[in-house]
Amino acid sequence: MTDPAPLLRRMVDDLTSTGVLDPPWREAFLAVPRHAFIPDTIWRQQRRELVPFHRADDPLRWLEMTYAPTQVLITQVDDGNPVGPGLIGDRISSSASQPNVVALMLAALTAEPGMTVCEIGTGTGYNAALLAHRLGAQNVTTIEVDAELATRAGGALAAAGYARVTVVTGDGAHGYPPRAPYDRILSTAAVGQVPSAWVEQTRPGGRVVTPWGTAYLNGALLALTVGEDNTATGRLVDNVAFMWLRDQRLPLTWVRDCVYDEDKALVSHTHIQPSKVTDDYHAALAIGLQVPECEYRFCRAKDDSGEYTVWFLDPSSRSWASIDYAPGAETYEVNQLGPRHLWDEVEAAYTWWVQANSPTSDQWRFTITPTGQHVDLTGTLRREHAPTIAKGA
């Protein structure tokens, strides 16, 4: 096998030079052989399909991919049972996150040697190995919902010298009370609702770090500090996209399955250029918070006309909307059908966001209590512009 050492060093140098690797984590990144955690078969996205790539077919390419600083490696599809012929998959169910994202999440965790940590989403075990190297293997608990993945990761951790990591098969939404309280909880799967168990199982003053998102926008990193009274407060500190925690996972939604009776849709027009409600990260975040259960899909015309359609979908209420863009147009046609008028909701949320001086992602304050998650705005907004968005537990 090609010597992985130069590839590993190049990855660490790259993470260092881009400033994403917190210096105290450098030694752990140099010590843990990432390739030892990556399965021989990984998947690559080709259009809508997830196509397997076997190490034996191109060992050097496989090794290079395992040390690419910004490459996510898909390590399981369809919960371990690929739905297509020849192992072709539909949906990503486990991955080794991009090393640069791993590094930024560990920086956000602010963990120190000797602290106890519970990781949700063991996956390959690579992140658990980094934690074990820096904090001490006996201080690391990691929970994986998929038994096969947990067993494989446990083996890889032991082979790499981190046998004392506690690998648990179970639903990480409940944390792992036998080893609580923890100084830190780090989830490597996204949530829309932070489970109250994570707050309950973290020591006062400790930290919970998790990818967070809405149906509209999956793509933020939430860092919370736990208080004395089983509550936690915090804010969004970065922009990351992750697979959902299994229990909070949304069904795969295709436009063709959600859109029906197009000839019966309510037709209207808007001056808002559709890309305004999708392309601005901060706007999309505010829309997602105020328009629950709404996803969107961007469909470009196959010709080079520059035209596109954005579809807004809420499969649970059988509501859909579409807006058509054509270059040079001043108004855009909207079609909507179903109990919810999704475009009207999106437009109202976007208009609110503009009128509220376009709040940025870090202005949303999160409070997690035993009864639920509350998100409201901080900062200089006028009071009448500051909604409180309470979500049930």
Ligand X SMILES: C[S@@+](CC[C@H](N)C(=O)[O-])C[C@H]1O[C@@H](n2cnc3c(N)ncnc32)[C@H](O)[C@@H]1O
Interacting residues with ligand X (CB under 6 A): 93-97, 120-121, 123-124, 126-127, 143-146, 149, 171-173, 188-189, 242-243, 245-247
Q: How far is residue 362's CA from residue 350's CA, in Å, rounded to a whole number?
A: 17
Q: For ligand X, which is the closer residue by CB, 159 or 299?
A: 159
Least distance to ligand X, CB of residue 173, Å: 5
Asked if residues 52 and 73 have their Cβ atoms less than 8 Å apart, the reply is: no
- Residues in contact with 30: Cβ distance below 8 Å, sequence separation at least 6, in sequence order: 8, 9, 12
Contact 74, 44 (CB under 8 A): yes
**Cβ-based nearer residue to ligand X, 243 or 375:** 243
Of 93, 94, 97, 319, the active-site residue reads: 97
- As a whole number of angstroms, the distance between CA 139 and CA 142 comes to 10
- With beta carbons less than 8 A apart as the criterion, state whether 365 and 235 touch: yes
Nearest to 292 by CA among 183, 204, 179, 215: 215
Q: Using an 8 Å Cβ cutoff, are 66 and 73 in contact?
A: yes
- Residue-level length of the chain: 393
> Whose Cβ is closer to ligand X: residue 152's or residue 341's?
152
Specify burial of residue 15 (Cβ count, 10 A radius: 0-12, 13-18, 19+). buried
CA-CA-CA-CA torsion sign (184, 236, 129, 152): positive
Query: Has 97 been annotated as catalytic?
Result: yes
How far is it, in rounded angstroms, from Cα 247 to Cα 173? 8
What's the CA angle centered on 37, arms 36 and 40, to 5 degrees?
A: 80
Do residues 55 and 41 make contact, with C-beta atoms less than 8 angstroms apart?
yes
Q: State the CB neighbour count (10 A cutoff) for residue 178.
A: 8
Mode of pairing for the β-strands spanning 332-337 and 319-325: antiparallel
Q: Which amino acid is at 209?
A: V
Distance between CA atoms of residues 144 and 126, nearest Å: 13
Closer residue to ligand X in complex, CB, 143/185: 143
CB closer to ligand X out of 95 and 202: 95
CB of 194 to ligand X, least distance (A): 13
* Cis ω for the linkage preceding 181 (within 30 of 0): yes
60 vs 147, which CB is nearer to ligand X?
147
Residue 121 or 192 with smaller CB distance to ligand X = 121
The kind and range of the H/E element at 29 are helix 26-31
Kindly list the catalytic residues: 97
